């Protein structure tokens, strides 16, 4: 048996799989986020351990024999969090999370130093780890002076599991300290933030062994014999391992609260000015690119509150047959935008409203606006050297056939809907645990799920969609001029 542990923002999920990769069962423990000031987002790392213990206890209660047979554990986690430890591995302050924006000034200052984009291949975003440490140095100098180790959230769990300070490439690529092409820490960038390599964990690939489960925890969980802990992955790379998005040209689109267009690459293809994330993948000699939009299903949920109808009811009013764009354009920048604009201040808009603009017309515009934002991501990935021939759709928004037809038509590629199953980060982490424990070929393990159905582009509407996308593209610079 193999165990995947996924440390998310709202909870820890534990999943057991067999050697045949069939899911035995899963359990979870809940987490809360503390927001002591505007723009702050923190968690107590002790709560991660409690939630993990709850999740594992849930598995032990239902599947004691299967848990006892675990030989490998893989870790996945929320990225970018700054977990600060002293020389005795005591936590110095609550972890500053990925969605904490307090260090926006520090991020802008680091991003203005050309070394960061050149070495990491990425913009220094406020959510990344390095600017958080600069903020601590400036505002909490007494804490900064005691920092002996900086760990990412899942790697703090590893410290508890194994007693070792180890991280891996995919998660570390989101710190702004990694030389992403060389897959190693950059002493130059660490020095630029007042740190050194000795304050970082050692690095392994996500498929490699990164410690063993302590005897105490193994006994408490009812496991005998050695249990290997895999390097693991950041959450999106772990999801990609679960989805089989690991080979050149493989891609998925995620329609969750935010939207992600994720493509695996066999080579390192940075283009930071596009606001595309170029990170190491969890598999050796593999990288990935990722475009992120901040409001996907979030945009439809916002409109559903305004319209007084559920998102499902609104989508249902459109039916299942894709319609030509109406001339009403929606910009989904409700909380700013990441790719390709890197603009925290821009906000959304409806453009082209008329007396004839019904509720269904506005719903259609909202879905198209998110579609065109994802198309922006595709163009950004193309500009960075990535070509995509098809995508797999995941996330809550992928339940809308209308939306998937819209995406297929705008992107000009087929959209695959996977057969029912849980192929998320916990499953990907369990796969990495299996690989680390058995030495199995990563590509043979990280296969794609069966495709339930494929949504093809609607060729008759491709020209109309191109015209509407042109309108959408022209709207951002005009809106930006008004906003500033």
Show pLDDT as tens, one digit a residue, over the chain (484 residues). Answer: 999 999 999 899 999 999 999 999 999 999 999 999 988 999 999 999 999 999 999 999 999 999 999 999 999 999 999 999 999 999 999 999 988 889 999 999 999 999 999 999 999 998 899 999 999 999 999 999 999 999 999 999 999 999 999 999 999 999 999 999 999 999 999 999 999 999 999 999 999 999 999 999 999 999 989 999 999 999 999 999 999 999 888 999 999 888 999 999 999 999 999 999 999 999 999 999 999 998 999 999 999 999 999 999 999 999 999 999 999 999 999 988 989 998 878 899 999 999 999 999 999 999 999 999 999 999 999 999 998 999 999 888 999 999 999 999 999 999 999 988 888 899 999 999 999 999 999 999 999 999 999 999 999 999 999 999 999 999 999 999 987 6
Are 332 and 343 in contact by the 8 Å Cβ rule? The answer is no
Give the span between the Cα atoms of 25 and 40, in whole angstroms: 35
Strand spans (E) along 21-179: 23-30, 42-43, 72-77, 83-85, 95-96, 149-151, 166-168, 178-179
Are 429 and 233 contacting, i.e. CB atoms less than 8 angstroms apart? yes
- φ, ψ of residue 67 in degrees (nearest 5): -65, -40
Question: DSSP H helical segments within 205-327, as ranges?
Answer: 215-221, 235-243, 297-307, 311-317
Alpha-carbon distance 357 to 423, whole Å?
Answer: 39
Which of 111, 171, 235, 298 does the annotation list as catalytic? 235
From the CB of residue 32, how many other CB atoms can be counted at a distance below 10 Å? 12
235 is catalytic: yes
**pLDDT on residue 179:** 98
The CA dihedral of 457, 458, 459, 462, to the nearest 10 degrees, is -90
Hey, is 76 helix, strand or coil?
A: strand
- How far apart CA 308 and CA 141 sit, in angstroms, is 49
Q: What's residue 344's pLDDT?
A: 79
Helix axes 104-111, 129-139, angle to 10 degrees: 120
Helix, strand, or coil (residue 259) = strand
Give the per-residue pLDDT at 178: 98
Query: Would you state the pLDDT for residue 345?
Result: 81
* Dihedral sign computed on CA atoms, order 297, 298, 299, 301: positive
**Residue whose C-alpha is closest to residue 170's, from 288, 310, 87:** 288
Q: Which two tokens stand for residue 208?
A: 């490699």
The secondary element (H helix, E strand) that includes residue 418 is strand 415-418
The whole model's pTM is what? Answer: 0.90
Q: Strand runs (DSSP E) across 219-366, as ranges?
A: 228-230, 233-234, 251-255, 259-265, 277-280, 287-293, 329-331, 349-351
CA dist., res. 379 & res. 169, Å (int): 26
Terminal C-alpha separation, the chain: 56
Residues in the chain: 484
- Give the model's pLDDT for residue 197: 98
Question: Looking at the DSSP assignment, which residues form a beta bridge with residue 415?
Answer: 391, 455
Pairing assessment for the beta strands 2-7 and 72-77 based on DSSP bridges: parallel
pLDDT for res 342: 86
C-alpha span between 70 and 25 (Å, rounded): 13
């Amino acid at each position: 048996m193999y165990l995947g542990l996924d440390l998310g923002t709202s909870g820890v999920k534990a999943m057991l799989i067999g050697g045949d990769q069939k899911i035995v069962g899963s359990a979870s423990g809940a987490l809360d986020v503390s927001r002591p000031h505007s723009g702050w987002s923190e968690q107590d790392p002790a709560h991660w351990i409690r939630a993990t213990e709850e999740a594992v206890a849930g598995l032990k209660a239902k599947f004691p024999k299967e848990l006892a047979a675990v030989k490998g554990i893989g870790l996945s986690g929320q990225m970018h969090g700054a977990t600060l430890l002293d020389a005795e591995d005591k936590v110095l302050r609550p972890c500053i999370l990925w969605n904490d924006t307090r260090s926006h000034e520090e991020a802008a200052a680091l991003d203005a130093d050309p070394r960061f984009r050149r070495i990491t291949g990425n913009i220094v975003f406020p959510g990344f780890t390095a600017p958080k440490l600069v903020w601590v140095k400036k505002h909490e100098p007494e804490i900064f002076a005691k920092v002996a180790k900086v760990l990412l959230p899942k790697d703090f769990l590893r410290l508890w599991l194994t007693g070792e300070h180890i991280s891996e490439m995919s998660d570390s690529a989101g710190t702004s300290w990694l030389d992403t092409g060389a897959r190693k820490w950059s002493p130059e960038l660490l020095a630029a933030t007042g740190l050194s390599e000795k304050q970082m964990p050692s690095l392994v690939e996500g498929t490699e062994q990164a410690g063993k489960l302590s005897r105490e925890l193994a006994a408490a969980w009812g496991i005998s014999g050695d249990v290997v802990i895999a390097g693991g992955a950041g959450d999106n790379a772990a999801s990609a391992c679960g989805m089989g998005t690991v080979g050149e040209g493989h891609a998925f689109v995620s329609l969750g609260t935010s939207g992600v267009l994720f493509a695996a690459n066999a080579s390192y293809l940075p283009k930071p000015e596009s606001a595309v994330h170029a990170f190491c993948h969890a598999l050796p000699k593999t990288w990935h690119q990722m475009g992120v939009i901040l409001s996907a299903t979030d945009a439809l949920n916002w409109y559903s509150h305004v319209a007084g109808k559920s998102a499902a009811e609104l989508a249902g009013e459109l039916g299942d047959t894709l319609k030509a764009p109406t001339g009403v354009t929606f910009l989904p920048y409700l909380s700013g935008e990441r790719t390709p604009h890197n603009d925290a201040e821009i906000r959304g808009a409806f453009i082209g409203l008329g007396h004839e603009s019904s509720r269904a017309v506005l719903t259609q515009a909202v879905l198209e606006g998110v579609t065109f934002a994802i198309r922006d991501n595709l163009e950004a990935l193309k500009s960075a050297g990535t070509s995509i021939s098809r995508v797999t759709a995941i996330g809550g928004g992928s339940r809308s056939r209308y939306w998937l037809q819209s995406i297929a038509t705008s992107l000009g590629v087929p959209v695959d809907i996977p057969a029912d199953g849980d192929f998320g980060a916990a499953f990907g982490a369990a796969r990495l645990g299996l690989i680390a424990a058995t030495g199995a070929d990563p590509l043979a393990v990280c296969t794609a799920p069966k495709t339930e159905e494929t949504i093809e582009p609607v060729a008759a509407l491709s020209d109309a969609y191109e015209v509407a996308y042109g309108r959408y593209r022209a709207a951002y610079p005009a809106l930006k001029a008004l906003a500033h």
